Amino acid sequence: MSRLIVLSNRVKMPDNNPMAGGLAVALHDVLIENPSIWMGWNGKILDPCVDGFNDCATNAFSSSKPPTLASADADGQRANPKVTYITTALTTKQYQHFYCGFANNVLWPLLHEQANLISQAPQDYAGYQAVNRLFARQLKKVIEPDDVIWVHDYHFLSVAHYCRQLGINNRIGFFLHIPFAPLAFWQQLNQSPELIEHLAHYDVLGTQTQQDKTNAIAVFQHYLNGRFLQHSPLNESYNSQDFTPFNRFAGVQLTLNLDLCATHCLAINAYPIGVNVAKIQQQITRSSSHLPSQTVKHPQQKNVIKPAAQQIIAVDRIDYSKGLLERFSAYRYFLQQYPLYQNQLKLLQIACPSRLDLPVYRRLYDNVKQTVRGINQQFLPNGEQMPTFKTDDCSAHHKANDFINNWQAITYSEKVLNHKALMKAFWHSDIGWVNSLKDGMNLVAKEYIAAQNPENPGVLMLSRYAGAAEQMQAAVIIDPHQPKSIIHGLKTALEMPLAQRKERYQALLQGLQQDNLHAWQQDFLDDLYDVKSHHTTKECPATV
């Protein structure tokens, strides 16, 4: 029987720890009912001097299955006993050069259009390629003839290339969870020609948005111009015979002559990732009846505006792509411009630190905390003392009574909530604020809408630069680079009458239900499993 083998940088093991990040949540739901293998890094870093190895060839992989009667994890999910988890630790050098170095100091800023933040050591690219080869070798060890491989995200652009070198002719798909940058950014990286050639060895390449797909096609057109089998020149319209549409969403198939294969077909399309709307609504329905009555958002008359005492929620990893400092700056200006909201309006910022080994992230982390403290000090009510700064003072819905009575401008928490508790926090919040400077999709925006009370829904403020904005135009769209845009959007969201909030909510919910998590999974896997479009020929060498 055909298995689905998923490769991602991190693997969510069946345990009691909450899932952090859209990729982990999405893959957990994809694998929950399928016979499959989930492969990746286990999050551990080993010292080769102590643990006895110092190169990729000797990395030890461990294989495990959850117990047949596995208990539910922190997010209420039961592990699927049909899933095999295959993981390995990274050595200190692998972590420094592969993960910190090329993946997050080079590819992450490049793909988020922040080329000025690229920092590359000479060994980083070699380390990146070595870890990609490492996982290709492990795939070779476990793969069976009918298996299909689904590789996720920017950590593994080159895995398919090494799989083909090892003689793996199985279908291999790649999905990029972050933006696919325009050609101008790829041209600033010396390794781009080789990376794009490696990426071409996948059978299906998926992006989050139509714009990302357009960028990808232009980049392949530029770097692989001499590899196309058609005789006519490529053009910017993508309507010539060089690009063959393969489904109703105007995906394209590129027929290429690659070094490892005389004829190879690469399909490129957009597969916008969604959320499990039914699951989120079920969580909210089960918990809402147990919530204290004073915290429930009661329905209002259609044209009545909410009072100033409202709650805004923002949930972000502390990353320069998320626009945290821009959010805080605009929020400060808003409170200055509209003093009515002082001592009443609350911003709950759940911020998860990450990659603190990298100097740019450490600086951002320190700036975020300093900025929050400064704003809270500036708007401290007369006669009150500045409360002690805490990083874990957020409960499931943050005790809404205390939220109003003990006012501070920003309530800041670094505590990672499990999925159910986070959905409760969304349900309790009048505004969900996504301020990304650049984002592949941003599932927080979609989860916020899915978690709302249909009788009295909150309002989504969404950055135009988040991938979700392509689908969620009924949100209040803002430009995080323009403080006036944010202030106007915030005022609009706070004063939006019930009838308009319901109308926007229904439009957004309908889109979420249509393009949900299952549709994302099914659309991608339908194309990946489609044998009719598998044009890789037997001329590919068994080994190179």
pLDDT value, residue 35: 83
SS (H, E, C) 419-433: HHHHHHHHHCCCEEE
Higher confidence at residue 24 or residue 83? 83
Query: Sorting pLDDT into bands at 50, 70 and 90, what band is 65?
Result: confident
- Cα–Cα distance for residue pair 334/345, rounded to 1 Å: 11
Q: HSE-up of 87 (CA within 13 Å, CB side)?
A: 18
At 260-288, the pLDDT tens digits run 887 999 999 999 999 999 999 999 987 66
Task: Report the alpha-carbon distance of residue 114 to residue 112 in Å, rounded.
Answer: 6
At 220-236, the pLDDT tens digits run 999 999 888 753 333 44
Position with higher pLDDT, 56 vs 478:
478
Mean pLDDT calculated for residue range 524-528: 94
Q: What is the pLDDT of residue 396?
A: 43
Identify any residues that bridge with 349 across adjacent strands, giving them in sequence order.
314, 412
**Mean pLDDT of all residues belonging to the chain:** 85
User: CB-hemisphere CA count at 13 Å for 370?
Assistant: 6
Other Cβ atoms less than 10 A from the Cβ of 496: the count is 21
Q: How far apart are CA 126 and CA 539, in angstroms?
A: 29
Distance, in Å, from the CA atom of 87 to the CA atom of 435, rounded to the nearest integer, reads: 34
Mean pLDDT calculated for residue range 407-433: 95
